[in-house]
Amino acid sequence: MNNRLDFEKPIIELEQKIQELKDLAENESMDLSKEIETFEGRLIRLKKETFEKLSPWQKIQLARHPDRPYTLDYIKLIMQDFIELAGDRVFGDDKAIVGGIARFGGKPVIVLGHQKGRDTKENLKRNFGMAHPEGYRKALRLMKLGEKFKLPIIVFIDTPGAYPGIGAEERGQAEAIARNLRDTARLKTPIIVTVIGEGGSGGALGLGLANRILMLENSVYFVCTPEACGAILWNDRNRAPQAAEALSITAKDLYRMGILDEIVPEPLDGAHRNCQATARNIKAALAKNLAELQGLSAEAILKTRYEKYRKIGEYVERMEGEIIR
């Protein structure tokens, strides 16, 4: 309740009024059922009016909400017997990426994803969900483990981007992300990615090459943060809301462009207000997509993944005076 966004305030205030009426009815033994019903109907209408008309910038605020569920929350809610595996076998263990073996629908899977922190101490530990090279190498190690034992791979993306610090660059940040893109393209096991918050640039792409890409309704996926875009284009980070409009970063934008395979619905007032309902929606979407992919041969898995990315975007080739799209 302390982490309320500006556009949520009218909703929260109305919820508080409804709770006050309920408390009054209980404490004073009064029949206020009609009044409560009227206010509850008004609350539902207000939520619909607010959340159905969110701007891209408001969706970014929701995607970054500190109460929004993270990777470990969803693993706990939709999977069983999770065993975390650590380290890249080269440098160390990056806490910004978590992963391991778990059971999903009673069957073993490899699961991994970005992990942010709930408070300053944990965010320092998790580096605000911004991975170092060892994080991407750990992720690739787990994915190859999945291929070795013929386990499907489930990935959760939630990062503002890969960590741009000197140490990360010295240890090969760009090479680690590039290697992940190359090697995950070749894995002969199904990969399903779900963007649960922010999908930032190469930091997201390092885990994001998959057979199926899903996104929560209020999550975002961008080539760079709107703040960075505003600074680059207009030398003004405060023009981030304008940049967010231009970048086409919402789930609806990406689904329309054919980049996204499925939009996973959130509760009416966002994932941060109802983690359990959001987890149920993700579980259903993952189960459906996994069932479709697990019936494919290794060759078909590679082929469908290749064709998915070949279809993204538009390009023009000029050959002997002819234009071919």
| CATH number for the domain harbouring residue 204 | 3.90.226.10
- Measure Cα distances from 40 to 2, 24, 259, 267 in Å: 22, 16, 38, 16
- Contact in structure between 24 and 179 (CB atoms under 8 Å): no
Q: What is the pLDDT of residue 273?
A: 86
Q: Is residue 325 part of a domain?
A: no
Q: What is the pLDDT of residue 48?
A: 85
Give the model's confidence band at 324: pLDDT under 50 very low, under 70 low, under 90 confident, else very high.
low
What value does the mean pLDDT take over residues 276-303? 95
Task: Kindly state the percentage of the chain with pLDDT values over 90.
Answer: 71
Its sign, for the CA torsion 303, 221, 141, 112, is negative
Give the model's confidence band at 315: pLDDT under 50 very low, under 70 low, under 90 confident, else very high.
low
Whether residue 217 sits in one domain with residue 162: yes
Cα–Cα distance between 72 and 115 in angstroms, integer?
Answer: 7
- Contact in structure between 268 and 220 (CB atoms under 8 Å): no
* Chain segment 13-61, per-residue pLDDT in tens: 888 888 888 888 777 777 778 887 888 888 888 888 888 888 999 999 9
Whether residue 306 sits in one domain with residue 269: yes
For the chain, the domain total comes to 2
* Interior angle at CA 7, CA 157 and CA 43, nearest 5: 105
Q: What is the pLDDT of residue 25?
A: 77
Q: Which residue has the tokens 């479709």?
A: 292
Cα–Cα distance between 175 and 133 in angstroms, integer?
Answer: 8
Q: Is residue 315 part of a domain?
A: no
Give the model's confidence band at 205: pLDDT under 50 very low, under 70 low, under 90 confident, else very high.
very high
* Chain segment 55-107, per-residue pLDDT in tens: 999 999 999 999 999 999 999 999 999 999 999 999 999 999 999 999 999 99
Whether residue 96 sits in one domain with residue 33: no
Whether residue 266 sits in one domain with residue 150: yes
Q: Which residues are CB-neighbours of 72 under 8 A, at least 6 positions away?
A: 98, 115
Whether residue 30 sits in one domain with residue 65: no
- Three-state SS for 215? strand
Q: What is the pLDDT of residue 301?
A: 96
Residue by residue, DSSP assigns 226-244 as: HHHHHHHHHS-GGGHHHHH
Whether residue 247 sits in one domain with residue 187: yes
Q: Does the pLDDT at position 325 exceed 70?
A: no
Whether residue 223 sits in one domain with residue 163: yes
Rg (CA), the chain: 22
Q: Which residue has the tokens 């992919």?
A: 293
Q: Does the pLDDT at position 214 exceed 80?
A: yes
Q: Could you tell me the pTM of the whole model?
A: 0.89
User: Which token pair is 51?
Assistant: 């959340």
Cα–Cα distance between 12 and 19 in angstroms, integer?
Answer: 10
Whether residue 145 sits in one domain with residue 91: yes
Nearest to 56 by CA among 200, 242, 192, 227: 242
Whether residue 143 sits in one domain with residue 46: no
Q: What is the pLDDT of residue 24?
A: 80
Whether residue 81 sits in one domain with residue 221: yes
Q: What is the pLDDT of residue 153?
A: 98
Residue by residue, DSSP assigns 158-208 as: EES-S---HHHHHTTHHHHHHHHHHHHTT-SS-EEEEEEEEEEHHHHHHHH
Q: Does the pLDDT at position 2 exceed 70?
A: no
Alpha helices by DSSP H, listed for 219-297, are 226-234, 240-247, 251-256, 275-294
Mean of per-residue pLDDT scores for the chain: 91
Q: Is residue 317 part of a domain?
A: no
Task: Kindly state the percentage of the chain with pLDDT values over 70.
Answer: 96
Q: Is residue 72 part of a domain?
A: yes
Torsion of CA 282, 284, 289, 292, to 10 degrees: 170
Whether residue 99 sits in one domain with residue 47: no
- Three-state SS for 45? helix
Which of 37, 53, 69 is at the close of a domain? 53
- Contact in structure between 86 and 138 (CB atoms under 8 Å): yes
Domain coverage including residue 300: 60-310
Q: Which residues of 253-279 are buried (b: 16+ CB within 10 A; e: fewer)?
A: ebeeeebbbbbbbbbbbbbbbbbeebb
* Chain segment 223-274, per-residue pLDDT in tens: 988 999 999 999 999 999 999 999 989 999 999 988 999 999 999 888 998 9
- Contact in structure between 68 and 271 (CB atoms under 8 Å): yes
User: Which token pair is 180?
Assistant: 């992940």
Cα–Cα distance between 107 and 80 in angstroms, integer?
Answer: 9
Give the model's confidence band at 5: pLDDT under 50 very low, under 70 low, under 90 confident, else very high.
confident
